[in-house]
Structure formats: structure tokens, C-alpha cells
Structure 1
Amino acid sequence: MRYDLLSTLTGGLLIVEGAAIAVLAIAQGGAIIGGDTSALESAIALLVLTVIGAAAVVAFGVATIRGRSWGRSGGIVTQLLILAVAGGAATGVFAHPLLGLQLAIPAIITLVLLFAAVRRAGRDARAERP
């Protein structure tokens, strides 16, 4: 298992994104406790899914640092989903273009780093073949 700066940086960004999702889950929990939900069952289900998502993104970050391909793949899917959410936030009836931009910029940076990590892993795998 080889640690390199690119994988460590990319995995670190994924872990930070996972932590941000965990903060969102804490805010959702506060809304549930404060009674600021219209449907308690839906709010609890959303909270559970958010916690699972945060754990998955952190796991993708750790796996990326360790050079595992499933971590990079999961990270790429995560960035694409974040970009879809950013696009939805920036357009539509209740558009918040600044929020969309705040979501999109880190996702684009992480996505580019993930693609670079994938290319490096492929190059290293080809170099190790006899």
C-alpha cells in the first residue's frame, strides 16, 4: 500500500465533504428535536439516509487515501451527485445561484483530483505488469 500526496489530498477532501454531510445530519436532528418538521417519519428517514451518506463519503475518502479503486469510484459518483444538487440549487423557481456555486466549486476540484488519481493508479498498475 503506497501513500502519495495526490491520493491523500483527494481522500482528505472526501473526508471533509463527509464531515460536512454529518454536520447537515446534526442540523436535521436539531430540527427534529425542536419540532421543526411537518412529517416526523419522513424527517427521521431523511436523517438516517443522511448519516449513511456521510459515513459512505468518509469511507470513500479513507479508501482513496489507501489507494483502493472502490473509494475513487464512489468519490466520483458522489461528486456527480453533488454537481446535480448544485445545478438544482442554482436554477428553478427557488434558485440560489450562490449556493449552487458554493456546492459546485469544491465538487469540481475534488472530481478533477479524483480523475487524476484514477489516471495515476492506472499508470502505476501498467508499470507493475511484467
Structure 2
Amino acid sequence: MRAPRLALAAAAVLAAEGAALVVFALIELFGLGAGDAASLPTALALIVLTLIGAAALVAFTIGVRSGRSWARSGGVVFQVLAVALALAALTVQPVQWLFVVAVGLPGVLGFALLIASARAEGGAAREG
């Protein structure tokens, strides 16, 4: 019984992260339109790669809700990358605490939920 709730919570974190990436891509796109980009090809590549990451998170969201192990694995990879990015941001002076917390906390929460969901679903599969 616990696995579906954990899976839904993990999927919600993945969906929120995907939505955040879409918002970030839109901000970059508007900045590009305003002429803020130093290099047009680099700015376009950043936007495209950000949207690819958002699409991957949406796919992982759908997969986690369906109980697919590949989606949990991909989600875990994204969470580890988010935590690594937050930790790396601690080395930039002055430290941007809002960024560190906004990226790091969902990463840790998503990681914990994905692992707990996998363990619960594995336990349920062994029992049933």
C-alpha cells in the first residue's frame, strides 16, 4: 500500500523539477529575444538541452507513476546530478543560497522518495 503513495510523491517531485526546467528555458528564451545572449549558438544549445532534460523528467514522471524501474533509475540519476550541482554552487562566491536550496532540497527529497519507492515496490513484489 505504501509504494503507490511513495511513487506518486516521487513522481510529483520529478514533475515539479521538469516544470522548473521549462520555466528556466522560457526565461532563457525571453533573454535571447531581449538580446542578452553573448553567443547565439550557445544560448540556443542551452535552451534545447534544457528542454530535453525537461522532457526526460516528464517521461520519468510518467514511468514512476506506472511503476517502471527504468524511470526510477533515470530519476535517481537526475537527483544525483541536482545534488551535485547544488554542492558545486557552494564553491561560487558569494554563495547563492537560494539556488543551492532550490536545487539541492528537491534533489535530496526526490532521491529519498525514489529509493523508498523502489524498496517498497520490491518488498511488495516479494510478498505477493
Same fold (TM over 0.5): yes
| Matching residue's letter, 1:50 | T
1:73-92 aligned at under 5 Å gives the runs: 73-92=73-92
Maintained 8 Å contact 1:10/1:113: yes
CA distance in 1, matches of 2:28, 2:5: 35
State the 1:94 CA deviation: 4.8
| Matching residue's letter, 2:15 | I
Deviations 1:90-117 (A, max 9, x none): 2234532342122111111111111101
| Matching residue's letter, 1:73 | S
CA distance in 2, matches of 1:95, 1:88: 10
Deviations 1:60-110 (A, max 9, x none): 111101101111101100000001110111223453234212211111111
Residue correspondences, number: 126
State the 1:37 CA deviation: 0.4
- Find the residue that maps to 2:61 and give its secondary structure: helix
Equivalent in the alignment of 2:56: 56
TM score, norm. by length of structure 1:
0.90
CA distance in 1, matches of 2:55, 2:94: 29
| Matching residue's letter, 1:89 | A
TM score, norm. by length of structure 2:
0.91
1:97 pairs with 2:103: no
Maintained 8 Å contact 1:75/1:114: yes
Relative contact order higher in (CA < 8 Å, ≥ 6 apart)? 2
Maintained 8 Å contact 1:90/1:98: no
Equivalent in the alignment of 1:118: 118
State the 1:122 CA deviation: 1.5
**Identity percentage over the alignment?**
39
CA distance in 2, matches of 1:103, 1:66: 25
1:66 pairs with 2:66: yes
Deviates more, 1:21-30 or 1:4-13: 4-13
Equivalent in the alignment of 1:31: 31
Maintained 8 Å contact 1:91/1:97: no
